Amino acid sequence: MAYSIRELSELAGVSARTLRYYDEIGLLKPLYVSDAGYRFYGDSEVAVLQQILFYRERGFDLKQIRKIIYEENFDIVKALEEHLVVLENQRKHVDSLIWTVKQTIGSIKGECEMKDSEKFQAFKDELVHKNEERYGREIRAKYGDDAVNASNRKMMNMSEEEWQHFKALEDEIKLALKKAVLDGAGPESDAARRIVELHREWLSMTLSQYSPEIHKGIAAMYVADERFKAYYDSEVTGCAELLANAVKVVYNKDS
């Protein structure tokens, strides 16, 4: 069965304009184009469009999606299983937030007791979930499942005090990076070295095993991967690059 672009648009809830754009960038080519110039899509194209929408829902940009679904070893069943895991984790996260809100309300009303550590469990769940959803595929490919799982466990086992310190370090790093970039500080400056020390402490709180090489590899990802770069450059452009270069300078000097 072949769908016209209008029919596929209605079926998938995606505008015809979007489908034409996907064709233009090579993300979703039609099965064939009629002599009159009309696009038609078959079963394979429908399956690919479903994958595109799943990855879009998970926050991947079109460039990343194209790279994934046109990999030589791309397995649609494996991809669907991966989507299922992500969606189940999302459900668990929402359930965790609902439980936290209910328990907090109950504790305020005096209906139940709630440990301080329980008040922050959902937020740790959220951070692990978001990291897995956004970067899990690349990080697991680079460092392996065991290392990533150990890192997640270490984060989840943080005490309330450790969690608050972890988040405070994250904020301090971002503020220090913005100030350093705006001040024109270079990667060899004292300000940059201080940022590297803060970043090393922050990473060490979650990494199962820390090393300068791992630190340099992670910092390099902040520039190479647009998602990491966007996180650090959200307010001031150049923060990700300064951090990556500063880590490189510090450990090249120390080695």
pLDDT tens across the length of the chain (255 residues)? 799 999 999 999 999 999 999 999 999 999 999 999 999 999 999 999 999 999 888 878 898 899 889 988 888 888 888 888 878 877 887 887 787 788 788 877 888 776 766 666 666 666 776 667 666 777 777 777 887 778 878 877 787 788 889 989 999 999 999 999 999 999 999 999 999 999 999 999 988 788 899 899 889 988 888 878 888 998 999 999 999 999 999 988 655
- Last residue of some domain: 105, 132, 157? 157
CB of 61 closer than 8 Å to CB of 226: yes
* Structural domain that includes position 108: 75-157
Cα dihedral: 223, 21, 53, 218 (round 10): -10
232 plus 166 within the same structural domain: yes
The total of structural domains in the chain comes to 3
- Last residue of some domain: 103, 124, 157? 157
- Residue 193's CB is within 10 A of a number of other CB atoms, namely 17
83 plus 18 within the same structural domain: no
58 plus 101 within the same structural domain: no
pTM (predicted TM-score) = 0.52
Residue type, 158: M
- Last residue of some domain: 157, 183, 209? 157
